[in-house]
Every structure is written in C-alpha cells, then in structure tokens.
C-alpha cells in the first residue's frame, strides 16, 4: 500500500482518469458496433461523421493510438460505402 501522501493522491487520480477513459472508449465502441450492424445506407451516412468524431476524440486524448484511429475510420468508411 502507498505510504506517501502524493502517491495516495496519484492512485486516486489514476483511478478517476481510468474510469473516465473507459466510459468514452466503451461508448464509442458501442456506436461503432451499431454502425457496423446497420444495413441502411442513409442511416450509415448519418452516423459515420459522429463516429469518426468520437474516434478522433479518443485519439486526441491518447486513449487509443493515432494509427488505430485511422484504421478504424478507414474500415468504417469502407463499410458505409459498400452499403
């Protein structure tokens, strides 16, 4: 267990950030799942910019790597274009 006051604070901060990051990551994953499941081109085209924006936000905050974000956006765009 942590002995220093600063290390106890660091543990509190890290846990708070972890929960915050998980929330945004899981929310984005659920929207991506919804986009992949859609069969309607119009609905997919409406949803794609929102999903891309969410993915960019995750990459900006270093929750996911920039290259992973690019790969996700590319694959989702291909999916929508093929509908």
Domain ranges within the chain, ordered by starting residue: 20-81
Counting Cα atoms < 13 Å in the Cβ hemisphere of 22 gives 6
Predicted pLDDT at 2: 79
b/e per residue 60-83 (b: at least 16 CB within 10 A): eeebbeeeebeebbeebeeebeee
- The architecture (CATH level 2) of 20-81 comes to Up-down Bundle (1.20)
Whether residue 1 is predicted with pLDDT greater than 80 in this model: the reply is: no
Q: Are the CB atoms for 48 and 78 separated by under 8 Å?
A: no
Average of per-residue pLDDT across 20-35 = 96
Average of per-residue pLDDT across 21-37 = 96
Whether residue 18 is predicted with pLDDT greater than 90 in this model: the reply is: yes
Q: What is the pTM of this model?
A: 0.84
Q: How confident is the model at residue 3 (pLDDT cuts 50, 70, 90)?
A: confident
Q: Are the CB atoms for 41 and 83 separated by under 8 Å?
A: yes
Which residue do the tokens 């990551």 mark? 25
């Amino acid at each position: 267990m942590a002995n220093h006051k600063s290390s106890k604070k660091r543990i509190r901060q890290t846990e708070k950030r972890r929960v915050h990051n998980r929330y945004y990551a899981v929310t984005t994953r659920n929207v991506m799942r919804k986009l992949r499941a859609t069969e309607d081109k119009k609905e997919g085209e409406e949803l794609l910019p929102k999903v891309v924006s969410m993915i960019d936000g995750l990459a900006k905050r270093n929750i996911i790597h920039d290259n992973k974000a690019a790969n996700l956006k590319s694959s989702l765009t291909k999916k929508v274009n093929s509908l």
